Amino acid sequence: MNIKLAENIYYVGVNDRRTELFENHMELPNGVSYNSYLIVDEHIALIDPVEPEFMAQYISQIKRIIGDRKVDYLIVNHDEPDHSGSVGAVLREWPEVTVVGNAKTFAPLENFYGPIANKKIVAEGETLSLGGHTLQFFMAPMCHWPESMATYEQTSKIIFSNDAFGGFGALNGGIFDDEVNLEYYEADMRRYYANIVGKVAMMALKTIQKVSTLEIKMIAPSHGLIWRSNLQWVIDRYTAWSKHEAKEGVVIVYGSMYGNTGRMADIVARGVAEAGVKEIKVYDVSKTEESFIFSDIWQYKGVILGACSHYGSIFPNMVGLLHEIGEYKPQNKVFGLFGGASWSGGGLKTLKENAEKNNWNIVGEPIEVKGAPIREEDVEKLYKLGVEIGNIVKS
Protein backbone atom coordinates (compact mmCIF):
# COMPACT_ATOMS: atom_id res chain seq x y z
CA MET A 1 0.00 0.00 0.00
CA ASN A 2 1.53 3.30 -1.14
CA ILE A 3 0.47 6.52 0.59
CA LYS A 4 0.56 9.51 -1.75
CA LEU A 5 0.88 13.16 -0.75
CA ALA A 6 0.78 14.29 -4.38
CA GLU A 7 1.66 12.91 -7.81
CA ASN A 8 4.89 10.89 -7.40
CA ILE A 9 5.38 12.05 -3.78
CA TYR A 10 4.97 9.35 -1.14
CA TYR A 11 4.92 8.93 2.62
CA VAL A 12 7.42 6.23 3.66
CA GLY A 13 7.52 6.87 7.41
CA VAL A 14 7.15 4.40 10.27
CA ASN A 15 5.34 4.19 13.60
CA ASP A 16 7.15 3.47 16.85
CA ARG A 17 4.96 2.13 19.66
CA ARG A 18 7.78 0.25 21.40
CA THR A 19 10.14 3.01 22.52
CA GLU A 20 9.22 4.07 26.04
CA LEU A 21 11.25 7.28 26.31
CA PHE A 22 11.83 9.85 23.57
CA GLU A 23 15.41 11.16 23.80
CA ASN A 24 15.57 8.70 26.71
CA HIS A 25 13.68 10.97 29.11
CA MET A 26 10.18 11.83 27.79
CA GLU A 27 7.49 9.18 28.05
CA LEU A 28 5.70 8.03 24.88
CA PRO A 29 2.39 6.52 25.99
CA ASN A 30 0.93 7.09 22.51
CA GLY A 31 4.11 6.29 20.58
CA VAL A 32 5.69 8.50 17.92
CA SER A 33 6.01 8.51 14.14
CA TYR A 34 9.21 9.04 12.18
CA ASN A 35 8.10 10.61 8.92
CA SER A 36 10.05 10.26 5.71
CA TYR A 37 9.11 11.22 2.18
CA LEU A 38 10.01 9.91 -1.28
CA ILE A 39 9.85 11.88 -4.54
CA VAL A 40 10.03 9.74 -7.69
CA ASP A 41 11.09 11.73 -10.76
CA GLU A 42 13.95 11.72 -13.28
CA HIS A 43 16.00 11.80 -10.12
CA ILE A 44 14.72 10.18 -6.92
CA ALA A 45 14.93 12.08 -3.63
CA LEU A 46 14.44 10.77 -0.13
CA ILE A 47 13.63 13.41 2.49
CA ASP A 48 14.56 12.74 6.13
CA PRO A 49 15.23 9.06 6.94
CA VAL A 50 13.98 7.27 10.07
CA GLU A 51 15.20 5.62 13.26
CA PRO A 52 17.71 2.86 12.36
CA GLU A 53 15.84 0.05 14.12
CA PHE A 54 13.13 0.34 11.43
CA MET A 55 15.49 0.09 8.47
CA ALA A 56 14.24 -3.25 7.10
CA GLN A 57 10.66 -1.96 6.97
CA TYR A 58 11.82 1.42 5.65
CA ILE A 59 13.95 0.07 2.78
CA SER A 60 11.20 -2.38 1.88
CA GLN A 61 8.66 0.46 1.58
CA ILE A 62 10.98 2.46 -0.65
CA LYS A 63 11.83 -0.46 -2.94
CA ARG A 64 8.17 -1.36 -3.29
CA ILE A 65 7.74 2.05 -4.96
CA ILE A 66 10.99 2.47 -6.92
CA GLY A 67 11.86 -1.15 -7.66
CA ASP A 68 15.45 -1.52 -8.87
CA ARG A 69 16.01 2.19 -9.35
CA LYS A 70 18.45 3.92 -7.03
CA VAL A 71 17.95 6.89 -4.72
CA ASP A 72 19.85 9.86 -6.14
CA TYR A 73 19.48 12.39 -3.32
CA LEU A 74 19.08 12.09 0.45
CA ILE A 75 17.83 15.40 1.90
CA VAL A 76 18.88 15.83 5.54
CA ASN A 77 16.83 18.62 7.10
CA HIS A 78 18.12 17.87 10.60
CA ASP A 79 21.11 15.98 12.04
CA GLU A 80 19.50 14.73 15.27
CA PRO A 81 19.72 10.92 15.34
CA ASP A 82 15.96 10.32 15.48
CA HIS A 83 16.01 11.73 11.93
CA SER A 84 19.50 10.97 10.68
CA GLY A 85 20.13 7.68 12.48
CA SER A 86 19.71 5.61 9.33
CA VAL A 87 21.88 7.79 7.06
CA GLY A 88 24.63 5.16 7.18
CA ALA A 89 22.21 2.39 6.23
CA VAL A 90 20.84 4.43 3.30
CA LEU A 91 24.42 5.02 2.09
CA ARG A 92 25.12 1.29 2.28
CA GLU A 93 21.96 0.48 0.34
CA TRP A 94 22.57 3.12 -2.35
CA PRO A 95 26.33 3.95 -2.20
CA GLU A 96 26.17 6.59 -4.94
CA VAL A 97 23.49 8.69 -3.26
CA THR A 98 24.28 12.40 -2.85
CA VAL A 99 23.55 13.71 0.64
CA VAL A 100 22.07 17.22 0.58
CA GLY A 101 22.41 19.59 3.50
CA ASN A 102 23.52 23.11 4.35
CA ALA A 103 26.89 24.48 5.44
CA LYS A 104 26.25 23.43 9.06
CA THR A 105 24.92 19.95 8.28
CA PHE A 106 27.96 17.87 7.51
CA ALA A 107 30.33 18.37 10.45
CA PRO A 108 27.85 16.92 12.99
CA LEU A 109 26.61 14.33 10.49
CA GLU A 110 30.10 12.98 9.83
CA ASN A 111 30.88 13.05 13.55
CA PHE A 112 27.94 10.67 13.99
CA TYR A 113 28.34 8.43 10.93
CA GLY A 114 31.80 8.92 9.45
CA PRO A 115 32.93 10.45 6.15
CA ILE A 116 30.33 11.07 3.44
CA ALA A 117 31.72 10.83 -0.08
CA ASN A 118 29.01 12.57 -2.09
CA LYS A 119 27.84 15.84 -0.57
CA LYS A 120 25.86 18.78 -1.89
CA ILE A 121 25.81 21.93 0.23
CA VAL A 122 22.81 24.19 -0.36
CA ALA A 123 22.23 27.78 0.71
CA GLU A 124 19.17 29.82 1.61
CA GLY A 125 16.66 29.79 -1.25
CA GLU A 126 18.76 27.50 -3.47
CA THR A 127 16.92 25.03 -5.68
CA LEU A 128 17.51 21.46 -6.82
CA SER A 129 15.69 20.10 -9.89
CA LEU A 130 14.59 16.47 -9.87
CA GLY A 131 12.99 16.76 -13.32
CA GLY A 132 9.32 17.62 -12.93
CA HIS A 133 9.78 18.57 -9.28
CA THR A 134 11.99 21.31 -7.85
CA LEU A 135 13.16 21.45 -4.25
CA GLN A 136 13.92 24.77 -2.57
CA PHE A 137 15.76 25.02 0.74
CA PHE A 138 15.11 27.41 3.62
CA MET A 139 17.34 27.66 6.67
CA ALA A 140 15.72 27.41 10.11
CA PRO A 141 18.72 27.75 12.43
CA MET A 142 18.09 26.78 16.07
CA CYS A 143 14.67 25.37 15.32
CA HIS A 144 15.95 23.42 17.08
CA TRP A 145 19.60 22.70 16.09
CA PRO A 146 21.94 25.10 14.24
CA GLU A 147 21.73 23.17 10.96
CA SER A 148 17.93 22.81 10.90
CA MET A 149 16.27 23.62 7.60
CA ALA A 150 13.03 23.06 5.70
CA THR A 151 12.56 21.82 2.13
CA TYR A 152 9.84 23.18 -0.16
CA GLU A 153 8.65 21.35 -3.28
CA GLN A 154 7.60 24.03 -5.74
CA THR A 155 5.29 21.97 -7.98
CA SER A 156 3.08 20.41 -5.29
CA LYS A 157 3.51 23.36 -2.86
CA ILE A 158 4.49 20.98 -0.02
CA ILE A 159 6.78 22.19 2.77
CA PHE A 160 8.75 19.42 4.44
CA SER A 161 9.00 21.30 7.70
CA ASN A 162 11.38 19.20 9.80
CA ASP A 163 10.44 19.37 13.52
CA ALA A 164 8.20 22.43 13.07
CA PHE A 165 4.46 21.62 13.14
CA GLY A 166 5.18 18.11 14.42
CA GLY A 167 4.00 16.24 17.45
CA PHE A 168 4.22 13.08 19.52
CA GLY A 169 1.84 10.20 18.89
CA ALA A 170 1.96 7.31 16.44
CA LEU A 171 -0.27 7.68 13.39
CA ASN A 172 -3.12 5.27 14.01
CA GLY A 173 -4.26 4.70 10.45
CA GLY A 174 -4.93 8.38 9.81
CA ILE A 175 -1.84 9.96 8.23
CA PHE A 176 -3.45 13.26 7.23
CA ASP A 177 -5.08 15.84 9.48
CA ASP A 178 -8.51 15.49 7.86
CA GLU A 179 -8.57 11.75 8.65
CA VAL A 180 -8.46 12.12 12.46
CA ASN A 181 -9.95 13.89 15.44
CA LEU A 182 -7.48 16.75 15.91
CA GLU A 183 -8.36 17.15 19.58
CA TYR A 184 -6.91 13.69 20.20
CA TYR A 185 -3.50 14.83 18.90
CA GLU A 186 -3.42 18.38 20.29
CA ALA A 187 -2.07 17.57 23.77
CA ASP A 188 0.72 15.43 22.31
CA MET A 189 1.56 18.23 19.87
CA ARG A 190 1.77 20.80 22.65
CA ARG A 191 3.89 18.51 24.81
CA TYR A 192 6.24 17.98 21.86
CA TYR A 193 6.42 21.72 21.23
CA ALA A 194 6.94 22.76 24.86
CA ASN A 195 9.66 20.22 25.61
CA ILE A 196 11.55 20.25 22.31
CA VAL A 197 10.93 23.47 20.42
CA GLY A 198 9.89 25.73 23.31
CA LYS A 199 13.43 26.68 24.32
CA VAL A 200 13.87 28.30 20.89
CA ALA A 201 10.32 29.64 20.60
CA MET A 202 11.45 32.90 18.99
CA MET A 203 13.32 31.00 16.27
CA ALA A 204 10.27 28.82 15.73
CA LEU A 205 8.17 31.94 15.25
CA LYS A 206 10.68 33.30 12.74
CA THR A 207 10.50 30.04 10.82
CA ILE A 208 6.69 30.26 10.76
CA GLN A 209 6.92 33.83 9.46
CA LYS A 210 9.45 32.82 6.80
CA VAL A 211 7.42 29.95 5.34
CA SER A 212 4.21 32.00 5.49
CA THR A 213 5.48 33.94 2.46
CA LEU A 214 5.27 30.75 0.37
CA GLU A 215 2.18 29.27 -1.24
CA ILE A 216 1.72 26.16 0.87
CA LYS A 217 -0.84 23.45 0.15
CA MET A 218 0.54 20.88 2.58
CA ILE A 219 2.83 20.78 5.64
CA ALA A 220 4.75 17.52 6.03
CA PRO A 221 6.71 17.43 9.33
CA SER A 222 9.17 14.83 10.60
CA HIS A 223 6.83 13.62 13.37
CA GLY A 224 3.06 13.48 13.58
CA LEU A 225 0.24 14.34 11.22
CA ILE A 226 0.61 15.65 7.67
CA TRP A 227 -1.40 18.85 7.25
CA ARG A 228 -3.44 19.30 4.07
CA SER A 229 -6.89 20.59 5.14
CA ASN A 230 -6.38 22.33 8.49
CA LEU A 231 -3.16 24.26 7.91
CA GLN A 232 -4.41 27.33 9.75
CA TRP A 233 -5.37 25.19 12.75
CA VAL A 234 -1.79 24.02 13.31
CA ILE A 235 -0.21 27.35 12.30
CA ASP A 236 -2.41 29.20 14.81
CA ARG A 237 -1.40 26.88 17.63
CA TYR A 238 2.29 26.95 16.84
CA THR A 239 2.14 30.74 16.60
CA ALA A 240 0.37 31.06 19.95
CA TRP A 241 2.81 28.68 21.66
CA SER A 242 5.77 30.53 20.11
CA LYS A 243 4.42 33.84 21.41
CA HIS A 244 3.97 32.35 24.92
CA GLU A 245 0.26 33.18 24.88
CA ALA A 246 -1.10 31.96 28.21
CA LYS A 247 -4.58 30.56 28.81
CA GLU A 248 -6.66 31.10 31.93
CA GLY A 249 -5.66 28.28 34.22
CA VAL A 250 -3.32 27.27 37.03
CA VAL A 251 -0.83 24.40 37.34
CA ILE A 252 0.05 23.32 40.87
CA VAL A 253 3.05 21.01 41.21
CA TYR A 254 4.21 19.57 44.49
CA GLY A 255 6.89 17.23 45.80
CA SER A 256 6.04 15.44 49.03
CA MET A 257 7.71 12.59 50.93
CA TYR A 258 4.90 11.74 53.36
CA GLY A 259 1.93 13.60 51.92
CA ASN A 260 2.00 16.80 53.98
CA THR A 261 3.08 19.03 51.09
CA GLY A 262 0.39 17.34 49.01
CA ARG A 263 -2.18 18.39 51.61
CA MET A 264 -0.88 21.94 51.27
CA ALA A 265 -1.34 21.76 47.49
CA ASP A 266 -4.99 20.79 47.96
CA ILE A 267 -5.59 23.81 50.19
CA VAL A 268 -3.97 26.12 47.64
CA ALA A 269 -6.01 24.52 44.85
CA ARG A 270 -9.24 25.18 46.77
CA GLY A 271 -8.34 28.86 46.96
CA VAL A 272 -7.70 28.97 43.23
CA ALA A 273 -11.07 27.33 42.55
CA GLU A 274 -12.95 29.73 44.80
CA ALA A 275 -11.39 32.60 42.85
CA GLY A 276 -13.31 31.24 39.85
CA VAL A 277 -10.58 29.47 37.90
CA LYS A 278 -11.94 26.31 36.29
CA GLU A 279 -8.79 24.95 34.62
CA ILE A 280 -6.68 23.70 37.56
CA LYS A 281 -4.10 20.94 37.14
CA VAL A 282 -2.50 19.47 40.28
CA TYR A 283 0.54 17.23 39.81
CA ASP A 284 2.60 15.10 42.16
CA VAL A 285 6.06 15.50 40.63
CA SER A 286 6.94 11.96 41.76
CA LYS A 287 4.06 10.40 39.83
CA THR A 288 3.90 12.36 36.57
CA GLU A 289 6.84 12.58 34.16
CA GLU A 290 7.93 16.19 33.88
CA SER A 291 7.31 16.65 30.14
CA PHE A 292 3.54 16.33 30.77
CA ILE A 293 3.73 18.85 33.61
CA PHE A 294 5.79 21.28 31.59
CA SER A 295 3.37 21.08 28.68
CA ASP A 296 0.62 22.43 30.96
CA ILE A 297 2.95 25.02 32.49
CA TRP A 298 3.55 26.26 28.94
CA GLN A 299 -0.15 26.78 28.23
CA TYR A 300 -1.50 28.19 31.51
CA LYS A 301 -0.90 31.56 33.14
CA GLY A 302 -0.60 30.51 36.79
CA VAL A 303 2.13 28.23 38.17
CA ILE A 304 2.31 27.28 41.86
CA LEU A 305 5.20 25.15 43.05
CA GLY A 306 5.50 23.45 46.41
CA ALA A 307 8.20 21.17 47.76
CA CYS A 308 9.25 19.65 51.03
CA SER A 309 12.82 19.84 52.25
CA HIS A 310 15.31 17.03 51.78
CA TYR A 311 18.57 17.10 53.74
CA GLY A 312 18.57 20.88 53.83
CA SER A 313 17.77 21.17 50.12
CA ILE A 314 14.72 20.39 47.96
CA PHE A 315 12.76 17.21 47.28
CA PRO A 316 14.88 15.51 44.55
CA ASN A 317 12.12 14.92 42.00
CA MET A 318 11.46 18.65 41.79
CA VAL A 319 15.00 19.38 40.56
CA GLY A 320 14.41 18.22 36.99
CA LEU A 321 11.29 20.34 36.59
CA LEU A 322 13.04 23.41 37.97
CA HIS A 323 15.83 22.83 35.45
CA GLU A 324 13.27 22.60 32.63
CA ILE A 325 11.54 25.84 33.66
CA GLY A 326 14.88 27.62 34.00
CA GLU A 327 16.16 26.39 30.62
CA TYR A 328 13.00 26.91 28.56
CA LYS A 329 11.83 30.10 30.30
CA PRO A 330 8.05 30.07 29.72
CA GLN A 331 6.81 33.66 29.71
CA ASN A 332 3.67 35.54 30.75
CA LYS A 333 3.35 33.55 33.99
CA VAL A 334 2.57 34.37 37.59
CA PHE A 335 4.22 32.11 40.16
CA GLY A 336 3.36 31.18 43.70
CA LEU A 337 5.61 29.23 46.08
CA PHE A 338 5.12 27.10 49.18
CA GLY A 339 7.07 24.42 50.97
CA GLY A 340 7.26 22.08 53.90
CA ALA A 341 9.92 21.76 56.57
CA SER A 342 10.59 19.24 59.32
CA TRP A 343 13.88 19.35 61.27
CA SER A 344 15.32 21.51 58.49
CA GLY A 345 14.09 23.74 55.72
CA GLY A 346 15.44 23.92 52.20
CA GLY A 347 12.55 23.17 49.90
CA LEU A 348 11.11 26.67 49.85
CA LYS A 349 14.60 28.18 50.01
CA THR A 350 15.57 26.39 46.79
CA LEU A 351 12.34 27.42 45.07
CA LYS A 352 13.00 31.06 45.99
CA GLU A 353 16.56 30.83 44.69
CA ASN A 354 15.27 29.56 41.36
CA ALA A 355 12.67 32.30 41.26
CA GLU A 356 15.29 34.98 41.81
CA LYS A 357 17.75 33.49 39.32
CA ASN A 358 15.12 33.22 36.59
CA ASN A 359 13.21 36.44 37.33
CA TRP A 360 9.88 34.77 37.97
CA ASN A 361 6.91 37.04 38.63
CA ILE A 362 6.15 35.94 42.20
CA VAL A 363 2.68 36.65 43.59
CA GLY A 364 2.10 36.78 47.33
CA GLU A 365 4.45 35.81 50.12
CA PRO A 366 6.09 32.36 49.76
CA ILE A 367 4.78 30.12 52.53
CA GLU A 368 6.72 27.56 54.55
CA VAL A 369 4.81 25.18 56.81
CA LYS A 370 6.56 23.20 59.53
CA GLY A 371 5.24 19.67 59.70
CA ALA A 372 1.65 19.21 58.56
CA PRO A 373 -0.82 21.99 57.61
CA ILE A 374 -2.84 21.58 60.80
CA ARG A 375 -2.56 25.12 62.24
CA GLU A 376 -5.31 27.47 61.21
CA GLU A 377 -2.90 30.28 60.36
CA ASP A 378 -1.02 28.01 57.93
CA VAL A 379 -4.24 26.83 56.28
CA GLU A 380 -5.39 30.44 55.89
CA LYS A 381 -2.10 31.53 54.30
CA LEU A 382 -2.15 28.66 51.79
CA TYR A 383 -5.78 29.28 50.93
CA LYS A 384 -5.19 33.00 50.43
CA LEU A 385 -2.20 32.29 48.18
CA GLY A 386 -4.50 30.25 45.94
CA VAL A 387 -7.16 32.96 45.92
CA GLU A 388 -4.62 35.68 45.12
CA ILE A 389 -3.13 33.83 42.17
CA GLY A 390 -6.58 32.78 41.00
CA ASN A 391 -7.75 36.41 40.98
CA ILE A 392 -4.75 37.53 38.94
CA VAL A 393 -5.23 34.69 36.45
CA LYS A 394 -8.93 35.60 36.12
CA SER A 395 -8.12 39.26 35.59
Hey, is 252 helix, strand or coil?
strand
Query: Residue 209 pLDDT more than 90?
Result: no
Whether this model's pTM surpasses 0.85: yes
> Which residues, other chains included, contact 31 with Cβ-Cβ below 8 Å and sequence gap of 6+?
15, 16, 17, 18, 19, 168, 169, 170
Query: Residue 213 pLDDT more than 90?
Result: no
User: Of the CATH numbers 3.30.70.1290, 3.40.50.300, 3.60.15.10, 3.90.230.10, which one belongs to the domain with range 3-242?
Assistant: 3.60.15.10
Percent with pLDDT over 90 in the chain: 91
Query: Residue 210 pLDDT more than 90?
Result: no
Angle at 226 between CA 221 and CA 228, to 5 degrees: 125
| Of 91, 212, 97, 76, residue with least CA distance to 145 | 76
Please write the tens of the pLDDT for every residue from 112-129.
999 999 999 999 999 999
Give the C-alpha separation, 123 to 127, whole Å. 9
What pLDDT sits at residue 308?
Answer: 96
What pLDDT sits at residue 178?
Answer: 98
pLDDT band at 318 (very low <50, low <70, confident <90, very high): very high
Mean pLDDT value across residues 30-43: 98
Percent with pLDDT over 70 in the chain: 100
Could you tell me which CATH number the domain at 247-394 has? 3.40.50.360
pLDDT band at 343 (very low <50, low <70, confident <90, very high): confident
Residues forming a β-bridge with 254: 284, 306
Query: Residue 1 pLDDT more than 90?
Result: no
pLDDT band at 227 (very low <50, low <70, confident <90, very high): very high
What pLDDT sits at residue 212?
Answer: 81
Query: Residue 220 pLDDT more than 90?
Result: yes
> Which residues, other chains included, contact 94 with Cβ-Cβ below 8 Å and sequence gap of 6+?
70, 71
What pLDDT sits at residue 272?
Answer: 98
pLDDT band at 236 (very low <50, low <70, confident <90, very high): very high
The chain-wide mean pLDDT, for the chain, equals: 95
- Contact between residue 299 and residue 246 where contact means Cβ atoms under 8 Å apart: yes
- Contact between residue 28 and residue 6 where contact means Cβ atoms under 8 Å apart: no
Q: How many CB atoms lie within 10 A of CB 219?
A: 24
Range in 111-115, 125-129, 305-309, 380-384 the model is least confident about: 111-115
**Domain boundaries defined on the chain:** 3-242, 247-394
Give the C-alpha separation, 227 to 307, whole Å. 42
Mean pLDDT value across residues 253-259: 96
Give the C-alpha separation, 264 to 367, whole Å. 10
Mean pLDDT value across residues 189-206: 91
What pLDDT sits at residue 204?
Answer: 83
Give the C-alpha separation, 132 to 211, whole Å. 22
DSSP labels for 85-120? Answer: TTHHHHHHHSTTPEEEE-TTTHHHHHHHH---SSEE
Backbone angles phi, psi at 251, to 5 degrees: -110, 125
- Contact between residue 147 and residue 126 where contact means Cβ atoms under 8 Å apart: no
